[in-house]
Amino acid sequence: MSSIRNPETLSALDRPNSYIGKTVPRPNLDRLLQGRASYVSDMELPRMAHVAFLRSPHAHAKIVSIDAAAAKLMPGVIAVVTGGELAAVITPWVGVLSHLKGLKSAPQSAIAIDRVCWQGEAVAAIVAISRAAAEDAAEQVAVKYEELEAVADMRTALDPATPVIHSSLGDNLAFERVHDAGAVDQAFAASDAVVEAEFVFGRHTGVTLEPRAVVADWNAAEARLTIYQGTQAPHMVQNIAALHLGLREQQVRVVCKDVGGSFGIKVHIYADEMATYALSKLLRRPIKFVADRVESFNTDIHARDHCCKGKIGVKRDGTILAFEIDDLTGIGPYSMYPRTSAIEANQVVNLVGGPYTSKNYRARARVVFQNKNVMCQYRAVGHPIACSVTEGLVDLAAMKIGMDPVEIRRRNLIADDAYPCASPSGLRFEQLSHQASLTKIVEMMDYQALRADQAALRKRGIHRGIGIASFIEVTNPSAAFYGVGGAKISSQDGVAVRLDAQGSVICQTSITEQGQGSEALTAQIVGSVLGVSMDRVRVILGDTDMTPYGGGTWASRGAGIGGEAALQATKVLRKNILDVAAVILQSTPAELDIVDNAVINVSDGAFRIELNELARIVYFRPDTLPPGIQPELMATKHFVPREYPFAFTNGVQAAWVEVDTDTGFVKLLKHWVVEDCGTIINPQLVDEQIRGGVVQGLGAALFEKCIYDERGQLTNANLADYLVPMSGEMPDIDVGHVVSPTKESELGAKGAGEAGTAGAAAAVTNAVNDALKPFATIITEIPLTPQVILTALGRI
């Protein structure tokens, strides 16, 4: 399936000593392994002060007064700044995008001014010589609140009796999308069975191990702000910081060093980070903000929290005729900036039913405001919702007509030779491989043997279940994602690559690294295309002063977009090098190649000149070159997908679980994934993206939930009560691949970052329901806690 195109030109895939498709260790690992990395939380600058934010204890309240007199007198305190005071240096923002028609939100300030809208919103900044001193002083700031009624339950947010959070907006509806394709009513009427269910998803969050961290350094003498931040999108931060601080973009430099996990948590603009930039400008000194774990739970974006009604119509022969959904999600009091909080619901509408041939699809999604922490895009945006609803419905339909879950999928998944084609929601698929993936996973897990085990164990009162979930995944987003809506978020990436005087290769890329392996895959591509060993390639990323302009690393775009830019830039450099080599060697570029750091003859592979010797001549003895020759040993290329708005990938997951029907505990025994991300640059990195993603999905399936009370108070904002997946409960995960490269790029790579998270919860939920089949109960709520399972079983 992985045919090589452009055989007449250079292909990165088939060069001698190519690193493409090989597992090679990431070049940056040793500093992480030896405790020598540089995370923002490690940073110190001369005169640096620390900020702690006093945060609202109320979900919704008017700020009557703030008395900071006592706090200002506390030891070590430099300043106490309120929202009103900070507004002198930073303007508010509104998180809307024009392509999400009707999306509305209210202006949000860096620090609340008159009113707080969620528990955890900052009401004052306390700047001191240490974080501890700032926290001491924060206890001395007296804030008088007048509590307002909180909108906590998204289900009643639109009721007439519910207070409107932002009166200027008229109601609590942030966004609504309706979609109707095919002939849905006729399809349901023609169905032999119609099944409906309501799927409930817990609100959860990213829990990056390194919390959000920023050091902002306004140097008044240079009129320049340097922002050291663990962000996925440095140029986006540069643009927005400049815009709201009244600076030109060249006055803002964003530096992103090592980042302790991101997963979409660190791709947004947070009020407290904006406040930190502004405080640095106001106080003319470096200010450090590191969210502590409690602040992280209260202010890092949350995700999911959907309640989605679903309906499926199916013929007796298994043919799925229609899907219908009605999705509701609550996003907190503001749409996040600048990516907005409507994207997840929008994705749910886009993705439901996506793997299947059925053309009849009706959907409604409503996004409502509430007085809880803000919600926005977290790993696999919308995918787990869409996949759980779709795959849950498919299993329910199969159960209803008595068909095996694998069989119903085989009969309805889009055929692998049917591409290009489009989904009923209008998504365009270039080439997917659902059927091949399903065949492969059935083999990997030995499906029939597992079914036999299941039957044998059931006789002994042991209840095991198998769950299958096919999925599609959005990767390599073009400008269709954000740019068309007016966001200054680049969908293209740039790479500059040069051969230095000693023969080493320096590569500057606009994608960023948070552990996915951006640095490694860039070095692999550059080394392979150029013909040099990876240890000669140094990759520079995460600095707006030092790299080409680009989007960064999010939405599974680094390998597909940044990787292609690296490939194309290196091709140009290679050509430039061969041009010079031909002059030096009195040959022609076509007769020469670069292999193992040296120029050789294409014809017989004979060694001609080392690259470092060539570089020496170019940089130090250009006088020895013929007249008129001006060598150019640096090349820059940018890339953005133009044909398809997104490069869709696909895959399937399977879970094997055991449910203790006395206790409601679920044991994850084994998990399998087959996915198709096109060209695989580094198999190990892809597999580990999948595994890590799966476990984030398993966390959602079994453990993770931000638990709010009816007053909008987050009641488990710590790592003891919010349960993240730990090693003791996680299964081994087998990963397999089908390879359908995208023709949109020469590299052919699509993304792989969302796939694991997309389908894990659906597979586990289906497996639990499969295990509970003898008990005639169906659970469509996650997390699948013992309480939920025992309740469903009628045990309590």
Partner 1 sequence: MKASAFAYARATSLANALELLATHGDKAKVLSGGQSLIPAMNLRLVSPELIVDIGDLGELRGIAVKGETLVIGALTRHADLLKSSHIVKCAPLLAAAVAHVAHPAIRNRGTIGGSLAQADPASELPACMLALGATIVVRGKGGERRIAAEEFFTGIYETKLGPQDLLVAIEVPVASPGSAHFFQEFARRHGDYAIVGLAAQVMRQGDRFADLRLGFFAVGDTPVLAKAAAAMLTGAAITPELLAEASAALASELNPHEDQQATPAMRRHLARVLLARCLATLLNRPDLQTGAGV
Partner 2 sequence: MTTPVSISLTVNGERVEAHVLPRLNLADFLREHLKLTGTHVGCEHGVCGACTVRVGGEIVRSCLMLAVQVNGAAIETIEGLSDSGEIADLQAAFRDRNALQCGFCTPGMLMAAQDLLRENGKPTREEIREHLSGNYCRCTGYHAIIDAVENAALARTEPQA
Among the listed residues 276, 332, 338, the one whose alpha carbon sits nearest the alpha carbon of residue 305: 332
The closest alpha carbon to 520, from 380, 273, 528, belongs to: 528
Nearest distance, CB of residue 660 and partner 2, angstroms: 18
- The Cα 657–Cα 447 span in angstroms is 14
Select from 402-410, 421-429, 512-520, 523-531 the region that touches partner 2 (CB under 8 A): 512-520
Q: Which of residues 34-53 bind partner 2 (CB under 8 A)?
A: 34-37, 39, 41-42
272 interface partner picked from partner 2, partner 1, none, CB below 5 to 8 A per type: none
Site for partner 1 in 137-166 (CB under 8 A): 139
Q: Which does 35 bind (CB under 5 to 8 A by kind): partner 1, partner 2, none?
A: partner 2
Using CB atoms within 10 A of its CB, is residue 81 exposed (0-12), middle (13-18) or buried (19+)? buried
Picked from partner 1, partner 2, none, the partner binding residue 665 (CB below 5 to 8 A depending on kind) is partner 1
At 367, list the tokens.
């996004």
What's the 3-state SS for 465-481?
EEEEEEEEEEECCCCCC
Beta strands across the sheet bearing 306-314: 173-181, 360-368, 320-330, 306-314, 193-201, 781-782
* Length, in residues, of the chain: 796
- Per rule CB under 8 A, is residue 787 in the interface with partner 1? yes
Report the 10 Å Cβ neighbour count for 545. 13
Pick one of 10, 294, 399, 506: the residue that binds partner 1 (CB under 8 A): 294
Site membership for partner 1, residue 293 (CB under 8 A): yes
Whose Cβ is closer to partner 1: residue 29's or residue 294's? 294
Which stretch in 196-204, 604-612, 651-659, 710-718 sits in contact with partner 1 by CB under 8 A?
Answer: 710-718
Q: Per the structure block, which two tokens stand in for 453?
A: 């085990």
Contact flag: residue 630 with partner 2 (CB under 8 A): no
Binding mask 118-137 for partner 1 (x = CB under 8 A): ------------xxx--xx-
Binding residues for partner 1 restricted to 724-753, rule: CB under 8 A: 726, 728-729
263 binds, among partner 2, partner 1, none (CB under 5 to 8 A by kind): partner 2
Interface with partner 2 includes 518 (CB under 8 A)? no
Quote the least distance from Cβ 785 to partner 1, whole Å.
Answer: 7
- Nearer Cβ to partner 1 (123/278): 123
- The only residue of 238, 280, 514, 544 in contact with partner 2, by rule CB under 8 A: 514
26 counts as binding partner 2 under rule CB under 8 A = yes
Residue 638 pairs in a beta bridge with 494
Give whichever of 291 and 529 is closer to partner 2, judged by the CB atom: 291
Site string for partner 2, 247-276 (x = CB under 8 A): -----------xxxxxx-------------
Q: How many CB atoms lie within 10 A of CB 288?
A: 23
Which tokens in the block code for residue 468?
């299958």
36 forms part of the interface with partner 1 (CB under 8 A): no
| 209, 221, 449, 590: which one binds partner 2 (CB under 8 A) | 209
How far apart are alpha carbons 246 and 253 in whole angstroms? 14
48 binds partner 1 (CB under 8 A): no
Q: How far is the C-alpha of 548 from the C-alpha of 492, rounded, in Å?
A: 10
Task: Among 217, 593, 688, 744, indicate the residue that binds partner 2 (CB under 8 A).
Answer: 688
Cis ω before 783 (30° cut-off from 0): yes
Window contacting partner 1 (CB under 8 A); options: 78-86, 477-485, 616-624, 661-669: 661-669
End-to-end Cα separation, the chain, in angstroms = 53
Contacts of 163 (CB under 8 A, 6+ apart): 148, 149, 151
Binding part of the chain for partner 1, among 156-164, 194-202, 259-267, 287-295 by CB under 8 A, reads 287-295
**206 φψ region: left (φ > 0), alpha (ψ -120 to 50), beta (else):** alpha
Does 753 help bind partner 2 (rule: CB under 8 A)?
no
592-595 β-sheet, strand order:
592-595, 598-601, 607-610
Q: What residue 796 binds from partner 2, partner 1, none (CB within 5 to 8 A, per partner kind)?
A: partner 1
Closest by CA to 563, choosing from 15, 23, 12, 18, is 12
Parallel, antiparallel or unpaired: strands 781-782 and 193-201: parallel
**Amino acid type, 183:** A
627 binds partner 2 (CB under 8 A): no
Of the residues 76, 589, 683, 786, which one makes contact with partner 1 according to CB under 8 A: 786
Place of tokens 């601080």: 245
Write phi, then psi, for 409 (nearest 5 degrees): -70, -45
CA 668/CA 702 separation, integer angstroms: 10
Q: How many residues bind partner 2 (CB under 8 A)?
A: 54
Q: Nearest 5°: phi and psi at 257?
A: -90, -140
Residue among 663, 667, 732, 777 that touches partner 1 (CB under 8 A):
663
Residues that bind partner 1 (CB under 8 A): 130-132, 135-136, 139, 292-294, 461, 662-665, 703, 707, 715-716, 718, 720-721, 723, 726, 728-729, 785-787, 790, 795-796
Residues that bind partner 2 (CB under 8 A): 25-26, 29-37, 39, 41-42, 132, 206-211, 258-263, 292-293, 514-517, 684-685, 688, 691-696, 718-720, 724-728, 730, 732-733, 756
